[in-house]
Homo-oligomer: A and B are copies of this chain.
Amino acid sequence: MGGAAGDALLGRFVELAGAAAARVVVIATASGSPETAEKAYLERFHALGAGEVRALRLTSRAAANAPEAAAVLRKATGIFFTGGDQERITGVLGGTATDVLLHELVDSGRVVLGGTSAGAAMMSGTMITGGDRTGVAADSVRIGPGLEFLPCVLIDQHFAERGRLNRLLSAVAQYPHELGVGIDEDTAILTGNDGFEVLGSGAVTVVDAGAAADIRVPPAGPIALAGARIHVLPAGCTFHLTGRRPVTGPPEPERERAA
């Protein structure tokens, strides 16, 4: 979720986690004030019908390596990461027993992993950790490794709202094997076997620099990027990672096409 997620998106997460049978764990590691963030999401998930909701406070690597954390996570059907600073998530959880367990639980299909804003960014193979939006250049973006729940994908969030296309272009021009995925606020990608479906009120902008015929990245100054592909995908669209191919939804009814 690209930040500012509404009830429709959070409700879908609860539903996927089992609705009344869901056991949701909220992790606010990214937040500077985890207590506030936990409280807000516990209330919202309760209101949206989740059976059980609890917070798991992980603000140190010691906590993330403790058996208590694993015990809580093993009982979960849904795990949700709040927004904040994605580098707090990688710094506190990266390489810990919690990190390993989360991958195990997600890979086995035993939990639904959700996150918004920083909680979405950290799922990337490579995440954007900062950068301005003036110009496409090597120094217009800072990147770092994410927790790699989505390898070969580079997620940016609050995408349209903060005018972040240039920083996403700056990142994928340097690493064209990473697919750039910019998620608007109140918008999400729901990942499946080979790609994702778009949900929510905004759009997901996909930048495929793998298609570029020529890319030149000088150490300073503007990048040249020729022939990249861009897709703007609102709810209902899907994207296949194999072949990097968008599908914009079912064809419109004949009567509309004839109008």
Contact = CB atoms under 8 A, between A and B. Distances in A.
State the majority secondary structure of interface residues on A: mixed
- Tell me which of A161, A164, A221, A222 has the highest count of chain B C-beta atoms within 10 A of its own C-beta: A222
A222 B228 contact: no
A134 interface: yes
B227 A135 contact: no
A58 interface: no
Interface string A227-259: 111111111010000000011110010000000
Nearest to A206: B226
Interface in A177-204: 184, 201-203
Given A135-B184, A135-B203, A203-B136, A234 B229 contact: no
A39 interface: no
B222 A232 contact: yes
Given A160-B134, A160-B136, A228 B227 contact: no
Contacts of A169: 230, 232
Contact of A224 (B134, B166, B227, B232): B232
A61 interface: no
A249 B216 CA distance: 10
A216 B250 CA distance: 11
A226 to B, nearest CB: 4
Contacts of A171: none
A255 B247 CA distance: 43
Contacts of A147: none
Contacts of A160: 133-136, 166
A214 interface: yes
A227 to B, nearest CB: 6
A249 B231 contact: no
